[in-house]
Structure 1
């Protein structure tokens, strides 16, 4: 018995698909994405922003580039960091990664 007539028939046409059932996996993926990626990143950024706003003169800091130093002067957007006895660097506040506390 040849299979050609059965292959030509194809799959039976399905009824109308429920639109909610079609978008449910996409909605679930977005919810998981939000709770596991977006929300923790917002918390981390909020914590970092509070840390940068709370720095005071004399705090030991570490920059993005790995430079360790002590805050010597604070401006609106930058800080003056004393790295060694006679070495001072002006660094943007956004380049600070951690504050180790007072010297």
Structure 2
């Protein structure tokens, strides 16, 4: 009789532990995994839409204008007759969007 009471009490504790683990997994998904995959999709779409003449900023902070588009690289002109070849993954989405949007007047 005492053993059955102990098993029932332990079973309830086990169920609440499982529910807590599931809740933690759901919260982790919605606050960590989902936003990261959305950001990766936005980055990929942004890079695919870049074309010759667009202003970009690299992850390293180099500003320039795209002068040639390759399969997995860009030729970026950073000064008059100064060009560098960079991987497409080296373009910063946030900084490049900030450079291309006009400033609002206060």
TM class by smaller structure: 0.7 to 0.9
CA RMSD after TM alignment: 1.8
- Mind listing any 5+ residue stretches in structure 1 that lack a counterpart? 1-12
- Mind listing any 5+ residue stretches in structure 2 that lack a counterpart? 101-106
Report the structure, 1 or 2, having the larger helix content: 2
Report the structure, 1 or 2, having the larger strand content: 1
Task: Tell me the distance in 2 between the aligned counterparts of 1:81 and 1:61.
Answer: 8
Alignment length (residue pairs) = 90
Of 71, 89, 93, the match for 1:94: 89
Q: Which has the higher contact order (CA 8 A, sep 6+)?
A: 1
Task: Tell me the distance in 2 between the aligned counterparts of 1:20 and 1:14.
Answer: 14
